[in-house]
């Protein structure tokens, strides 16, 4: 019989490759993670990791243990989900994850209303563009711009972030306003770095460009938007956010940028939890009412 906490720490280190990264991901302190590995190694009588400057390198025994440990993780998650789903308590914690830009610019007034109207609920919000694993209870509810593919998740589209091409008016006065797609090439364009979201959108409209098309590249959507607002060049922004800045002017409206669908997602079993269902319904109603055209 092993303490599940030891197995959880073992898997976190195995997946992340170092105590520091595992601590950030799991929320468990580095000393506790190290102690858990020592206890597990002592219990098993084997060495699981080689400790070095490059991190925690798994030993052969760790790789052999991994499959069984992941089965334990799946079983633990299933029990947790079933218990959460069976709960009819209204009060308690609900963990929400949302993309950086949604968490920063759209959710604050929604969360404020939720905390006012559902005072018995505690909210944990994780702004992140990575897809949190709802199957492992990394979050109870996710707000994402992509529809999840897992069968055990239920998702509904609650709104659409309509996008446009924008530039600061002072920038346009200095550099001129492009009249068509071809003339964009002579401007400082703001785009993503490793993400190919904009590139795929262009490709769908018949415009083939690569990342060098953008003079400024950043995958953080908030930073990219603020650089646009600061007047660094021409970029792509949600219309609802651009309207908040009088200095931003929409250009080339004839180029179809499209929109980003907003999906509200949770695990199927969690829909039977009264607490999570109430929060999910509240979020869905408020997000659907937002003018994002």
pLDDT value at position 84?
Answer: 54
pLDDT value at position 137?
Answer: 60
- Domains of the chain plus CATH, in order, are 4-86 (1.10.10.10), 91-293 (3.40.190.290)
Spell out, as residue ranges, where the chain has pLDDT lower than 70.
1-2, 54, 75-90, 131-137, 151, 269-272
Q: How far is CA 82 from CA 77, 95, 167, 213, in A?
A: 8, 16, 50, 49
pLDDT value at position 118?
Answer: 93
pLDDT value at position 131?
Answer: 62
Q: 151 burial class (0-12, 13-18, 19+ CB within 10 angstroms)?
A: exposed
């Amino acid at each position: 019989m092993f303490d599940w906490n030891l197995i959880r720490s073992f898997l976190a280190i195995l997946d992340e490759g170092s105590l520091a990264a595992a601590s950030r991901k799991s929320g468990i302190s580095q000393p506790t993670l190290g102690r858990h590995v020592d206890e597990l190694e002592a219990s098993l009588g084997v060495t699981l990791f080689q400790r070095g400057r490059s991190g925690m390198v798994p030993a052969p025994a760790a790789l052999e243990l991994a499959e069984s440990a992941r089965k334990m993780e799946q079983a633990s998650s299933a029990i947790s989900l079933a218990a959460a789903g069976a709960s009819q308590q209204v009060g308690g914690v609900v963990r929400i994850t949302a993309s950086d830009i949604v968490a920063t610019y759209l959710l604050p007034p929604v969360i404020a209303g939720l905390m006012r109207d559902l005072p018995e609920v505690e909210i944990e919000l994780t702004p992140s563009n990575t897809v949190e694993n709802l199957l492992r209870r990394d979050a109870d509810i996710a707000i994402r711009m992509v529809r999840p593919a897992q069968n055990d998740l239920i998702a509904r589209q609650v709104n659409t972030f309509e996008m446009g091409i924008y530039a600061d008016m002072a920038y346009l006065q200095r550099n001129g306003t492009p009249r068509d797609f071809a003339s964009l090439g002579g401007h400082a364009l703001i785009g993503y770095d490793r993400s190919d979201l904009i590139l795929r959108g262009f490709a769908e409209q018949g415009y083939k460009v690569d990342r060098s098309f953008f003079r400024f590249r950043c995958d953080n959507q908030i930073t990219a938007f603020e650089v646009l607002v600061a007047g660094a060049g021409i970029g792509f922004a949600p219309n609802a956010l651009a309207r908040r800045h009088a200095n931003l002017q929409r250009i080339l409206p004839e180029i179809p940028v499209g929109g980003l669908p907003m999906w509200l997602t949770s695990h199927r079993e969690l829909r039977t939890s009264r607490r999570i269902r109430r929060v999910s319904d509240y979020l869905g109603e408020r997000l659907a009412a937002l003018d994002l055209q």
